[in-house]
Amino acid sequence: MSHKRAPEADRYFPAHGDIRYRVHRYELALDYRPASNRLRGTARLSAVAGGAALREFVLDLAGFRLQRVVVDGRPAHYSHRAGRLRVRPAKAVEAGAAFTVEVHYAGNPQPIASPWGGLGWEELTDGALVASQPVGAPSWYPCNDRPADKASYQVSVTVPSAYTVVVGGTLLSRTTRSSSTTWVYEQAAPTSSYLVTVSIGRYEAVRLVGGGSVFAPRRPVPQTGYVPAGRREEFAVDFGRQTRIMDFFEDVFGPYPFGEYTVVVADEELDVPVEAQGLATFGTNHLGGRRRSERLVAHELAHQWFGNSLSIGDWRHIWLNEGFAKYAEWLWSEHTGGPSAAALATAAYDGLARLPQDLVLGDPGRRLMFDDRLYQRGGLAVHALRRALGEGPFFRMLKGWTAVHRHGVVTTAGLAAHAAHYASRPLDPVFDAWVHRAALPPIGDLGG
């Protein structure tokens, strides 16, 4: 994406992000005290200026008390209002030049208010968790809060030693001094700001064992669950087939894009699970020992390909995350002898046909971007692509899509161009009918 033209700022969230620079690495050092919900943090950002000199730039950060801001080792002037930290370096950063920003801050983190409830850092009864989609990341660290601005992360969190800290990525070290323990995680893969998460609680680690696909033998992806005390047996049932889901998704989507996959079951009830890079967070209401939430287990895992490895260019394209994750649920059902994807598509169509026809999948608007219709209509659009392409070309298209754009940024136009390479006839009518128009096309447009 170009960084020269203001129109490339996100239309849904124009008050977030700054297109004048890109961050390629964050190093976060946090100290958190659960009893008082007190957070002290130092954030070091390594960034590159865009096509013009930077006399000032903006970071997104909620209402913490700032202790100092340093750019390239020199104190910088700054102002901090309404979640926007405006920084004026002592010396302007030249166009295209690398620079570093260090922000020292402290306070009591609070979720950011939104139409979808509080976003970001959430204090729990005994611990904390982060669920940032779409714009909650500034609730706990300074960032360039745009999904297309992906960076690597090192996250260090110091907490009282009774607590476990889980962050998406590889645990590099765990060091105990006196009554506190510091956990250091590394996420080397490029990551969108909203997909960085932290869970703090009294958890037991459970290794999920499975492995290797019968179709393409490979080293199993390391998978770990973190569950509240006394819930291991339920977890073993409810997430017992996750390793099989991983194997199946690797067969149909291509290799898992990260080094490990972690599931946290927070000791709270959560309305919906939340995906993050290499990690998903569920609530205790998703347990029960009857696999009633397996559809969601599949959905969150699918997001590691669709949404996390392949990140959207801006929030208009949210269906590329949710439509493919919804369709992954249908594929898993089909694979395991449940209702076929075609049957589930028909049921979704029947449900949508009874609802208002005012959602344009490819640009739903901020108000409707998480409407349940977007998920169902997204799944239908993917199924329509399957019918238009045919079985072999469709599944080759899927693997090609995740391979070509692995750890990259995608758009609806990019998907249309990619899918066209696998089509025997133009796909414009499919995208026009299912993605770019609000009215549901006839059910016959799904094919046979």
* Bind-site residues for Zn(2+): 299, 303, 322
Kindly give, in sequence order, each residue whose CB lies less than 8 Å from that of residue 29, ignoring residues fewer than 6 positions away.
41, 42, 43, 156
Chain length of the chain: 448
Q: Which strand ranges, in their side-by-side order, compose the sheet holding 164-167?
A: 120-124, 127-131, 198-201, 164-167
Kindly give, in sequence order, each residue whose CB lies less than 8 Å from that of residue 338, ignoring residues fewer than 6 positions away.
none
Angstrom distance (rounded) from CA 134 to CA 131: 9
Angstrom distance (rounded) from CA 219 to CA 250: 12
List residues forming the annotated binding site. 299, 303, 322
Question: ∠ at Cα 11 (53, 51), nearest 5°?
Answer: 15
Residue with tokens 């745009």: 146
Six-digit token pair at 391?
A: 């079985």
Six-digit token pair at 129?
A: 């968790």
Angstrom distance (rounded) from CA 323 to CA 370: 11
Angstrom distance (rounded) from CA 158 to CA 174: 9
Kindly give, in sequence order, each residue whose CB lies less than 8 Å from that of residue 320, ignoring residues fewer than 6 positions away.
306, 307, 310, 312, 378, 410, 411, 412, 415
